[in-house]
Structures are given as structure tokens and as C-alpha cells.
């Protein structure tokens, strides 16, 4: 009987979609970023997204995963995560043949920054960029290759049967009972000038390596998560949301500045 129950739990975990941050977390990252855009980048974002705005666009790639088309169910599915085994760095591992979040980010950067591309293509690209940068700051989206980014690590969050990935996607954030704008106000009020200088790095490989290193510290040694786990993860959770927002702004600022420069391509490559 115990084996049957465990099998059912694992089956449920395997069927769970591997989203990142959930709606609130993605909107927080996007809204923080919006506050640190240069005038040039803000104008470019508005030209592409119009009244939609970054916070609204942030969760769109997750919403579209319910679309039955092959593009959303198959081709786009790997673009939400990377795999970095423990003790390794992304540059040592690289992307699988089907691609990953890193390859998708580079692909969509080129499209979003290209004024000759269609508006529809640029909108899709910018929505993905906003989303992927958020994904890369959720530590379980830099998976270890063993447990589907914590989806196979079943646990209880208080009385709720869930998995570690879902705990980081939504449960820890929703536990605070804050709107995404309240989260943004609280977090940005604590971002210092030094934080901005240190975090404003538009190099995705660095973000991935940081997330993978954090990932290896957040697996609990038991499967009933309550107050102690919330206390232990509160600071890194908040820092990842803040870093994600600052770095999304840095990435977009760099991307749209480079799109206007007449300079060697390598000077703006990421």
C-alpha cells in the first residue's frame, strides 16, 4: 500500500508543469525591471508591447503552454529551464539538441532588437525574454538533471501535498499574501546603489551559475516544510526576485542600446 501511494505521488509530480515563480513572482521581476529601465529601453518596450506592459507580459509564456499546438507543447517547452549538474558550470554543460532557456534567450534577443522583424515576432520575443530572465533566477530552473527541477522531490508545505518546485514557484511567495505591486514596493525600497552596481550584470551564464549554486542549498533534509523552511529561505527568495528584476532591466537596457549602436556585433553580444 505504501508503495502504491508513493507511486501515485510520483506520478502526480511528474505530470505537474514546471513553471517558475508563478504569476506573482514573474510579475514582481518584471515590475522591478520596469523601474530601472533607461528612457531608451522603456520607449522600445512600449513600442513593442503597447499598453500591455512588462508585468502583464511576464506570465504569457506559461499561460500559452496550455495551447494544444505543437509549438507550445513541444518546441517551446525546453525554453523555460537549463540543466547544470552539481559541481559543474553551464559553459561546461551547454544546451541539449532541443535547446534550453539560454539558447532561447539569445534567439529572442536578436528578434526583439531587430526593427525589421514583424511586430508580432518582436512581441513574442520580448515576452519570452521577460519570462526567461525570471525563470533563470528561480533556482530550481537551473535543474540538477536528477529530479526535474525539484518536481520529483515530494513534500508537504504545512498540510498541502506538493513538491519542492511548486513550493518555490508559488507557495513561499503566496504565503506572504502580498500583491505583485506590494512585493515590488517592498523589495525596491531595499535595493541599494551598491546592489544595483553588483547585480546589473547582463550575462545570463553568470545568473545560471548563481542559481545552480543556490539550488544545491535549498533542498531540505526532511519533507514536511513549515515555519523553519520559510525562515531559512526568506532572504534568498527575496534576493532572487530582486536580482531578477534588476538584471532584466540591465539586459533590456543593454539590448536596446546595442540595437541602436553602430559597433562591432561582439561588443553587445550576450
Q: Which three cell numbers stand for residue 48?
A: 513593442
CATH number of 2-268: 1.10.575.10
Element (H, E) at 224: strand 224-225
pLDDT in the model for residue 167:
98
Strand 142-143 and strand 224-225: the pairing is unpaired
Domain boundaries, the chain: 2-268
What's 258-269 look like in SS3?
Answer: HHHCCCCHHHHC
Confidence of residue 14 (pLDDT cuts 50, 70, 90): very low
Rounded to the nearest integer, the mean pLDDT of the chain is 90
What pLDDT band is residue 8 in, cutting at 50, 70 and 90? Answer: very low
* 212-231 pLDDT, tens digit each: 999 999 999 999 999 999 99
pTM of the model: 0.89
Tell me what pLDDT residue 62 has: 93
Q: Are strands 154-157 and 142-143 parallel, antiparallel or unpaired?
A: unpaired
pLDDT(117) > 60: yes
Q: What is the mean pLDDT of residues 240-267?
A: 80
Q: What is the pLDDT of residue 73?
A: 85
Q: Which three cell numbers stand for residue 4?
A: 502504491
Amino acid at each position: 500500500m505504501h508503495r502504491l501511494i508513493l507511486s501515485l505521488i510520483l506520478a502526480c509530480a511528474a505530470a505537474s508543469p514546471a513553471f517558475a515563480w508563478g504569476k506573482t513572482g514573474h510579475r514582481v521581476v518584471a515590475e522591478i525591471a520596469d523601474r530601472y529601465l533607461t528612457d531608451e529601453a522603456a520607449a522600445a518596450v512600449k513600442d513593442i508591447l503597447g499598453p500591455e506592459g512588462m508585468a502583464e507580459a511576464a506570465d504569457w509564456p506559461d499561460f500559452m503552454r496550455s495551447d494544444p499546438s505543437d509549438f507550445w507543447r513541444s518546441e517551446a517547452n525546453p525554453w523555460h529551464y537549463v540543466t547544470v549538474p552539481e559541481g559543474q558550470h553551464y559553459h561546461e554543460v551547454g544546451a541539449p539538441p532541443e535547446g534550453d532557456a539560454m539558447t532561447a534567450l539569445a534567439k529572442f534577443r536578436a528578434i526583439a532588437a531587430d526593427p525589421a522583424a514583424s511586430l508580432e515576432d518582436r512581441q513574442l520575443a520580448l515576452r519570452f525574454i521577460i519570462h526567461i530572465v525570471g525563470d533563470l533566477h528561480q533556482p530550481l530552473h537551473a535543474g540538477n538533471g536528477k529530479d526535474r527541477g525539484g518536481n520529483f522531490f515530494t513534500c508537504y508545505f504545512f498540510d498541502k501535498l506538493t513538491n519542492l518546485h511548486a513550493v518555490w514557484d508559488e507557495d513561499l511567495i503566496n504565503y506572504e499574501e502580498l500583491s505583485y505591486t506590494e512585493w515590488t514596493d517592498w523589495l525596491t525600497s531595499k535595493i541599494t546603489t551598491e546592489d544595483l552596481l553588483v547585480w546589473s550584470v547582463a550575462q545570463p551564464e553568470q545568473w545560471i551559475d548563481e542559481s545552480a549554486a543556490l539550488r544545491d542549498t535549498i533542498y531540505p533534509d526532511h519533507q514536511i516544510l513549515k515555519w523553519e523552511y520559510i525562515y531559512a529561505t526568506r532572504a534568498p527568495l527575496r534576493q532572487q526576485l530582486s536580482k531578477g528584476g534588476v538584471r532584466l532591466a540591465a539586459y533590456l537596457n543593454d539590448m536596446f542600446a546595442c540595437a541602436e549602436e553602430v559597433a562591432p556585433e561582439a561588443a553587445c553580444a550576450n
